[in-house]
Amino acid sequence: MAHGTQSRFGWAGHGTEFFENEALRRARMRLGMLTMCVFAAFTIVGLRLADISIAVQANVDEPQVTVVEQARHRAELVDRRGNLLARNIEIVSLGADPRDVWDPVDTAQRMLPYLPDTDEDRMVRRLSSGRHFVWLERRISPQQHYDIHSLGLGGVRFITEQRRMYPHSNMLAHLVGYSDVDGEGLSGLELGLNDTLQGEAAPVALSIDLRVQHALRDELAAAMEEFSAIAAAGVVMNVNTGEVLALVSLPDFDPHDPASGSSMARFNQITSGVFELGSVVKPLTIAQALEIDLVNPDTYLDVSQPVRVAGHSIRDFHRIEEPISVWEVLGESSNIGTAQIAGMIGRERQRSFLQEIGFFDQQDIEMPGAAYPLVPSNWGPLETATISFGHGLSVTPLHLTSAIAALVNGGYMIEPTFEPREETDDFARRRVISEETSHQMRALMRYVVTDGTGGNADVPGYDVAGKTGTSEKPAEGGGYDRDRLLSSFVGTFPASDPEIIVFAMLDEPQGQDHTHNFATGGWTVAPTVGRVIERIAPLVGVMPVDMEARSNRAAESQQLATLSPQ
Amino acid sequence: MNVPLNYILVGLLFVAWIGLFSVKDAARETNARAADLERTVSLEHGRIDDLMTEWAILNQPAYLQRLAQVNLGLNATDPRQIVTMSALPPVMLEAPTDTSSGTFFASVEGYLQMPQARERHDPYADMPRPMVRPQPQSGVGD
């Protein structure tokens, strides 16, 4: 303080110059610092402006795109050969938030070249509406999405949703089923394999063969039309693995719009329907009688008179005067002969055999909604007789198909499956009849086709073995209705070593002129199964048997017969 | 006050800031390019999905069947159209003069040497048959 005062007043003149220079220097320095700070601040502001404008330019689309994922990941479904059956596809729809649209007319005009079906006035009206959200175009193509996206228009929104797509539409409606918008399976294998489909990244393969499925559906649809039936259904299965290769239930529905189908169309007759299937059940009775040595194929039975059981008469479709062998009981589909054989088997043994082949239980299959059989509560002598030829016990067609498969595959009951399997895989096989009985059953069922009611199912070279079935549907007031039939046929080929089994049925077929007005299984369904077999045999790799060898052998036996003494 | 030091510090600050800005800008550009690539990949995936779905639709057996029947006059295979090599009658060919393609002629030679009388397998040889084959009675039963 003292020094400062002295300096200020003691060294005036020279001292003033010094102070002026120093003050100037400091002022300049401060000014320079200030200028630099101001420059730095303006630079920061300028660069930040550039930064923001660049950032907004680079991400111009980001704030404008609203992606709404409406479904979780769901694996593709493919057939056994990798053909696509169901997949999720992304569907993009165009919308807008009119509050963010700068110029509705300009926005509409810039988008319109990419939306040829959209009306300009309508779009401008929507864009000017002032609402929070308006739809502009549902389901635009990926190219339209890309083009409109590139315009970078304010307020435009893209809504992405996942949708399950079934490229074969109705063809696999009952098999594959469908799922809802949230990606949850609702019916068919979409429901049955829901957890697998939600957990797997890779496509999930089914045992189905698309080509076999088409052949079966094509032929069933043709038969349904030919015989004016109200419904038709069929299944193709590998007898040695239980793999279902095709499953059709007609009428069917569009899995993209299941609500448009009638309740009948949405009903899977093969796994959810139970029917009194009629004579197609007879091979089971015959097989059991052969297995426990009650008869052999050459045992003769007198079927000339109706069988009286518990006050009821059991008759045949047509009367057979002469005694017939077990061959003909099956070949001519004799109810009387089968009921006689059931009488020999008896109630208890019949019940336990049918239980063993799964006729009392719901099938353990991947398909949801597998039906429980309808087993009579009172199983008396009349039921024993009628059940032996397929009346009085209702099972699903898939129950019957797997049971008949067991009769011809060497005697093993195999639970059907919709997932691919190899014969060498370790899966449950339960022996229900011996190899020997199975061998006899192949011959007996082949006889049905060569000499019995199933002749229309034969395909030269593939040696179909099978059994026809015709049952009268239950009448509304009790009893059975003679005019409403359920006609069916179960066929397997080649008879010498069956690989594939085909079951088909027609609900209420009408006889035609070319069938002499018969609507029975042998006239209506057997030819259908024959045509299915003719079409699918080359597809599933079954070689036709050597026709030349057979004709040589036939010629030889004829020659021997001619040479032998009369 | 150390004036040069201040200048240097402010200068360094400025240089650091410029450096930071350019790194940030480069990162943003890379991000933008990555986002662009991701968008392109996603679009391509979408296109592949669309093509696969379209292929599945075009591959519908009913559609192929109609095309084959209408345009090519094809029908379901007749079992008589399918034979194995062993079932074909042997064909006598002239001895080849050109031996450059050894494999082909070796196979032809092998084929020519096939036994004339071939063993044929009848899968029904051991199948049971009815003792007396009756005439079919109607074929219309159930």
For residue range A438-495, list pLDDT tens digits in order.
Answer: 999 999 999 999 999 999 999 988 999 999 999 988 888 888 888 899 999 999 999 9
* Bond into A368 cis (ω within 30): no
Does residue A297 sit in the same domain as residue A428?
yes
Of B57, B77, B141, the CB nearest to A167: B57
Contacts B67 to A, Cβ<8 Å:
none
Domain count, chain A: 2
Verify cis geometry, omega within 30 degrees of 0, for the bond prior to A251. Answer: yes
Asked, for residue A91, whether it belongs to a domain, the answer is yes
Residues A309 and A163 in one domain: no
Chain A contacts of B140, Cβ < 8 Å? 317-318, 453, 516, 518, 520, 522-523
Of B3, B29, B56, Cβ closest to residue A167: B56
CA distance B103 to chain A (A): 28
Contact of B56 with chain A, judged by CB distance below 8 Å, is answered with: yes
Cβ contact B59–A83 (<8 Å): yes
Alpha carbon distances (Å) from A530 to A249, B111, B115: 18, 36, 36
Q: Please answer yes or no on whether A452 and B139 come within 8 Å at the CB atom.
A: yes
Cβ-based contacts of A56 with chain B (< 8 Å): none
Cβ pair B3:A446 closer than 8 A = no
Nearest residue of B to residue A541 by CA position? B82
CB contacts of A331 in chain B (<8 Å) are 136
Chain A residues near residue B87 by CB distance under 8 angstroms? 546, 548
* Structure-token pair, residue A563: 């040479």
pLDDT, mean over chain A: 87
Domain match, A134 and A150 both: yes
Under the banding of pLDDT at 50, 70 and 90, the label for residue A431 is: very high
Cβ(A299)–Cβ(A368) below 8 Å: no
CB contact under 8 A, A168 and B133: no
A155: in domain: yes
Q: Which pLDDT score, from 0 to 100, does residue A480 have?
A: 84
Has residue A297 got a pLDDT over 60? yes
Is A566 among the domain residues?
Answer: no
Residues A192 and A223 in one domain: no
What's the average model confidence in pLDDT over A392-413? Answer: 95
- Is residue B5 within 8 angstroms of chain A, CB to CB? no
Please report, as a single letter, which amino acid is at residue A324: I
Find, in chain A, the residue whose alpha carbon is nearest to that of B39. A146
Residues A187 and A241 grouped into a single domain:
no
How is residue A240 written in tokens?
């040695």
Statement: residue A66 has pLDDT above 90: no
pLDDT at A328: 93
- The structural domains of chain B, with segments of one domain joined by +, span 3-65
Is the N-terminal amide bond of A116 cis, ω within 30° of 0?
Answer: no
pLDDT in tens, A499-515: 999 999 999 999 999 99
pLDDT tens digits, one per residue of A338-348 = 999 999 999 99
pLDDT of residue A546: 65
B69 touches chain A (CB under 8 A): no
Comparison of pLDDT for A51 and A167, the residue scoring more: A167
**Whether A51 and B17 lie within 8 Å, measured CB to CB:** no
The enclosing domain of A287 has a CATH number of 3.40.710.10
Rounded Cα–Cα distance for residues A318 and A387 (Å): 20
- Percentage of chain A lying above the pLDDT 90 cut: 63
Same domain, A325 and A392: yes
Mark whether A235 and A116 lie in a shared domain: no
Task: Indicate whether A104 and A217 sit together in one domain.
Answer: no
pTM: 0.77
Q: B142 vs A179, which has greater pLDDT?
A: A179
Cβ pair A333:B62 closer than 8 A: no
* Residue A125, min C-alpha distance to chain B (Å): 31
Which one of A205, A236, A260 terminates a domain? A205
CA distances to A117, A149, A267 from A177, in Å: 33, 35, 11
For residue A25, being part of any structural domain is answered with no
CB contact under 8 A, A54 and B25: yes
pLDDT of residue B102: 46
Domain carrying residue A98: 77-205
Which residues of B fall within a CB distance of 8 Å from A279? 142
Which of these ranges, A14-23, A42-51, B43-52, has the smallest mean pLDDT? Answer: A14-23
Same domain, A333 and A448: yes
Q: Does B4 touch chain A (CB under 8 A)?
A: no
Residue A461's nearest CA partner among A392, A335, A340, A548 is: A548
Higher pLDDT, A57 or A210: A210
> Is A324 in contact with B134 (Cβ distance < 8 A)?
yes
Find, among A446, A464, A416, the residue nearest to A283 by Cα. A446
Q: Does B92 touch chain A (CB under 8 A)?
A: no
Last residue of a domain, one of A205, A232, A265: A205
Contact A443 B129 (CB under 8 A): yes
- Return the pLDDT at A71: 46
B124 touches chain A (CB under 8 A): yes
Contact between B126 and A557 under an 8 Å Cβ cutoff? The reply is no
List the alpha helices (DSSP H) in A292-396. 326-331, 335-345, 347-356, 381-388
Residue A243 and residue A194 in one domain? no
A279 classed as catalytic: yes
Give dist(CA A229, CA A528) in Å, integer.
Answer: 13
Residue A390's pLDDT is what? 93
Q: What is the CATH number of the domain that holds A91?
A: 3.90.1310.10
What pLDDT was estimated at residue B61?
92
- Give pLDDT < 50 ranges for chain B: 101-118, 133, 135-141
| Residue contact B141–A516, C-beta within 8 A | no
Q: Closest approach of chain B CAs to the CA of A366, in angstroms?
A: 25
Q: B85 at the A interface (CB within 8 A)?
A: no
Residues A171 and A309 in one domain: no
Contact B141, A468 (CB under 8 A): yes
The phi and psi torsions of B108 (rounded to 5 degrees) equal -65, -40
Question: Which residues of chain A does B50 touch, with a Cβ-Cβ cutoff of 8 Å?
Answer: 89, 142
Average pLDDT over residues A389-409: 95
The 10 Å Cβ neighbour count of residue B114 is 12
CA-based max dimension of chain A: 169
CB atoms B130 and A538 under 8 Å: no
Domain boundary among A205, A230, A254: A205
Over the Cα atoms of chain B, what is R_g? 40
Active-site pick, A187, A279, A394, A487: A279
Q: Which of B84, B87, B142 sits opposite A521 (nearest CB)?
A: B142
Which chain A residue has its CA at the smallest distance from B89's CA?
A: A548
